[in-house]
Amino acid sequence: MSSRAIVTLNGVTKTYGHFTALHETKLEVGEGEFVTLLGPSGCGKTTTLRLIGGFEYANSGTVSIAGQDVTNAPPYRRPVNTVFQDYALFPHMTVAENIAYGLSVKGSAVAPGERKRRVEETLAMVGLETMGNRVPAALSGGQRQRVAMARAIVRRPRVLLLDEPLSALDVKLREGMQVELKRLHRELGITFLMVTHDQAEALALSDRIVVMKEGKIVQVGAPTELYDDPATPYVADFIGASNLVSARYEGRDGVFDLLRLDDGTLLRRIGRVPSAGEPLRAVTAGIRPERIRLDAFDGANTMEARIIETLFHGDRVRLELALAGNAGRIFADVPRTAGTGRHLEPGGAIGLYVDPADVMLFAPELRT
């Protein structure tokens, strides 16, 4: 992270009775960044967001926003606004009244003329300039989400917190709103901190992703970094799809790590260099389904497999495959044209190839 930190968590722990939802968490979010907290249900991502927003309070550690300690400050004392999963709009108010509400409450009220100007400006920003007089019930799900966004940004917060903001939308609408979120972030220039369990959404929108598991941060990085160089099998399997197979580490051959699968297949991998004299160890090899090619060459990085099932995915076909010698099951995502001249039917035998640059190695016990 190169920009100045606007949100800082320092050793933050949150417990509910005997359950620890967040373990001594440290995190910095830079000013103007789009950062996503990603993980399965119960991993601590929503708890983290609520601690930053002031809807929960830490048992230990500190929360700072814009250089101020806000650990025990109420939400209205923090320069943040939140867009909730269920929009939380007032049904009896018009769109314009919903957006203006935060500008009229005690402590943040602005003059009526300025209020009207800012509401109109914000409506135009989210593409709802003709809908100010409608009530929420007369809007589509995507339009209600835009109103929720407008209500949150009209007060010009330093940080915008987004709690699963697109989860209630259908697939096509969700994809459209992702484009709108990216545009709003660019135009506003403020910090966006989003919670989601949708990996594709996180990859598409984020400058950095914080991957969480069981109340702890597992890895933080740019989308390309997490996808191409995951630190653990958990991250590899959560960010995109990964085939994880057991192997033995057999040392080095020039620039390659040598990995032996259970069926005897040799995988060469371009990567880090373990210390000299490292004994054979059990490791995990990772291969992205889309990096597997339907080619068989003599030598390393060629695998023999049997097709278990084929699944049509539009321009691609997903093959479920059983490796020879009971070495495990994997998936391969190949273009539809890859099957030309081949019989990609269940039960058929096929050769596979993976480039050494596309083999991942997970072996924390190997010293570097």
Q: Let me know: does 216 contact 185? Beta carbons within 8 Å.
A: no
Which pLDDT tens digits describe the chain residue by residue (368 residues)?
546 899 999 999 999 999 999 999 999 999 999 999 999 999 999 999 999 999 999 999 999 999 999 999 999 899 999 888 777 888 999 999 899 887 877 556 678 888 889 999 988 888 888 899 999 999 888 888 888 888 888 888 999 999 988 887 777 778 888 888 898 899 889 999 999 988 989 999 999 999 999 999 999 999 999 999 899 999 998 998 899 999 998 888 888 889 998 888 899 998 654 444 555 588 899 999 999 998 766 678 999 899 999 998 888 899 999 998 887 899 999 988 765 556 788 888 888 999 999 999 987 554 33
Q: Let me know: does 16 contact 34? Beta carbons within 8 Å.
A: no
Q: What structural domains and CATH numbers belong to the chain?
A: 5-237 (3.40.50.300), 241-362 (2.40.50.100)
CA proximity to 58, closest of 66, 49, 67: 49
β-pair type (266-270, 256-261): antiparallel
What pLDDT sits at residue 329? 92
The DSSP annotation for 189-224 comes to --EEEEEES-HHHHHHH-SEEEEEETTEEEEEE-HH
What is the gyration radius of the CA atoms in the chain, in angstroms?
25
Length of the chain: 368
Residue 279's φ and ψ, nearest 5 degrees, are: -70, 165
Could you give the count of Cα atoms lying within 13 Å of 360 in the half-sphere of its Cβ?
27
Give, for 248, the enclosing helix (H) or strand (E): strand 243-253
CA-angle at 27, arms to 25 and 28, nearest 5°: 160
What pLDDT sits at residue 33? 96
d(CA 108, CA 148) in angstroms, rounded, equals 18
What pLDDT sits at residue 217? 96
What pLDDT sits at residue 113? 85
CA proximity to 233, closest of 244, 222, 223: 244
What pLDDT sits at residue 281? 80
d(CA 323, CA 306) in angstroms, rounded, equals 7
Q: Angle between the 95-104 and 141-153 helix axes, to the nearest 10 degrees?
A: 20
The DSSP annotation for 330-358 comes to EEEEEEGGGGTTS---TT-EEEEE--GGG
What pLDDT sits at residue 366? 45
- The separation between CA 213 and the C-alpha centre of its own chain, rounded to angstroms, equals 12
Helices within the chain (DSSP H only): 45-53, 95-104, 112-125, 141-153, 171-188, 199-205, 223-228, 233-238
d(CA 316, CA 243) in angstroms, rounded, equals 17
d(CA 124, CA 264) in angstroms, rounded, equals 63
d(CA 168, CA 214) in angstroms, rounded, equals 25
What pLDDT sits at residue 279? 57
91, burial (CB in 10 Å: exposed 0-12, middle 13-18, buried 19+): exposed
CA proximity to 281, closest of 360, 359, 365: 365
